[in-house]
Amino acid sequence: MANLFHETRSIALITSAGNTVLLAILLFIVRWFFVPIEAWIIIVICTLVFFSGYFFFKYAVDEFIYKKIKLIYKTIHSFRSVKGSETTSSGKSESLDSVNQAVIDWGARQKMEIDELKKLAAYRREFLGNISHELKTPIFNIQGYVLTLLDGGLEDVTINRNYLMRTEQSVNRMIAIVKDLEEISKLESGELKLNLQRVDLTELAREVVDFLEMKARKVNVVLSIENKTDGQVLVRADKERIRQVLINLIENAIKYADKEDNRIVVKFFDMDENYLIEIKDNGPGIAEENLTRIFERFYRTDKGRSRDKGGTGLGLAIVKHIIEAHDKTITVRSKVHQGTTFSFTLAKK
Ligand code: ADP
């Protein structure tokens, strides 16, 4: 586009030079064959024609392009104004220059927006596919149990209660999936605002450990807290969200515990401006190739095992979102058959 405006000068120059040459040839033919015109008169006429032609063509081309481009610029400008980014231009030459920049900026922005929309569309497609896949299993299970009960199972005392209990389990599974979906869509849409406050992490961890104690005891898991700092662990965080992080991580460690003596320890370390929180288990561990993917939505290392344990595949994705909303990151270290450690930091109060 910038070249186009510079080219108006070249176009005017070439056109008027061409015309002048043609005129000069014509005048020399006239001089030789018809009227003896003085050479200086021919030169003066040609010079006048050249300059007037140059300015005329330049003006005409400029005006033509300027008017057309101004229309395009106005359209782009109105799009940009709608989005709140105003630019002002005064004078013709400034407009012509800024049109070029405006078109480039506008094009780049449109491309970015289109790329973003394409990514979102792909994300939505994948997300919807995952949701329907996740919901299909409990729905089909419920359908199977209900049909069996309607087909006479209801009167059969050996199966009626059992099938109703299985139906309830599938309903609970659907509720868990829907709850996690609701949570993750709130986190991903940025709708959820953090309620930052002073939180005593040792106290919060104690509440979470007490809450999960029964569940842990049923599968031979011992829960403990180790405070490696000099005193209280006070952080600036959203208490309820961090409670959820601790529940998800400790529940996972309980869920996948596979030893005779299972141990889960919540540890706190002092890290200058932050506290480091670690949730360490001695469970089955996670293979290295899965470590980078476990925070993805619906990613499981073992689909069957996760579903049998009531997992939705969204727990770690929710945890990651919450920690990132606190401007921090979560990491994981693991060795197969030895255990897993999740660690994240939180800013000191
Ligand atoms: P799920 O609902 O399946 O537990 P999560 O997002 O919470 O989904 O976890 C993703 C996967 O990471 C799990 O399916 C499991 O394979 C693995 N995982 C998470 N925590 C642990 C852990 N403490 N020990 C072993 N594997 C784990």
Residue that is written with structure tokens 């309830």 in the block: 168
Ligand 1 pocket member 339 (CB < 6 A): no
Cα dist from 94 to 60, 78, 88, 131, whole Å:
18, 18, 10, 54
pLDDT confidence tier of residue 97, bands split at 50, 70 and 90: low
Beta-carbon contacts of residue 218 (< 8 Å; ≥ 6 apart) = none
What is the whole-number distance in angstroms between the Cα of residue 198 and the centre of ligand 1?
Answer: 30
Hey, which of 29-38, 98-107, 232-241, 295-304 has the most confident mean pLDDT?
A: 232-241
Tell me the three state secondary structure of residue 117: helix
Our CA dihedral for 253, 255, 257, 260, rounded to 10 degrees, sits at 130
Tens-digit pLDDT profile for residues 313-344: 899 999 999 999 999 999 999 999 999 999 99
Mind listing the pLDDT tens digit for each residue in 126-167?
A: 888 888 988 998 999 999 999 999 999 999 999 999 999 999
Cβ(316) to ligand 1 under 6 A? yes
For residue 155, which amino acid is it?
E
The CATH number of the structural domain formed by 196-347 is: 3.30.565.10
The preferred substitution site among 173, 295, 300 for testing ligand 1, maximizing ligand atoms within 8 Å of CB, is: 300
Could you tell me how far CA 155 lies from the centroid of its own chain?
53
Residue owning the nearest CA to atom 8 of ligand 1: 313
Between the CA of 291 and the centroid of ligand 1 the distance, in Å, is 10
- Counting every residue written for the chain, the total comes to 349
> How far, CA to CA in Å, does 22 sit from each of 35, 49, 62, 81, 101?
18, 11, 24, 50, 39
**Sign of the C-alpha dihedral computed for residues 253, 255, 257 and 262 taken in this order:** positive
pLDDT score recorded for residue 88: 46
Residue 301 CA to ligand 1 centre (angstroms): 7
Residue 97, ligand 1, Cβ within 6 A: no
Q: C-alpha angle 341/209/177, rounded to 5°?
A: 75
The rounded Å distance from CA 171 to ligand 1 centre is: 21
Q: Which tens digit of pLDDT belongs to each residue from 209-257?
A: 999 999 999 999 999 999 999 889 999 999 999 999 999 999 999 999 9
Measured CA to CA, the distance from residue 317 to residue 297 in angstroms comes to 5
How confident is the model over 135-145, as pLDDT tens digits? 998 999 999 99
Ligand 1 pocket check for 252: Cβ under 6 Å? yes
Query: Average pLDDT of the chain?
Result: 88
Query: Which phi-psi region, left, alpha or beta, contains residue 209 (left: φ > 0; alpha: ψ -120 to 50)?
Result: alpha
Domain boundaries, the chain: 2-189, 196-347
- Cβ 134 vs Cβ 177: under 8 Å: yes
CB 283 less than 6 A from any atom of ligand 1:
yes
Entry pTM: 0.70
Please choose, from the candidates 298, 276, 187, the residue with its C-alpha nearest in 3D space to the C-alpha of residue 229.
Answer: 276
Cα(280) to centroid of ligand 1, in Å? 13
- Give the model's confidence band at 87: pLDDT under 50 very low, under 70 low, under 90 confident, else very high: very low
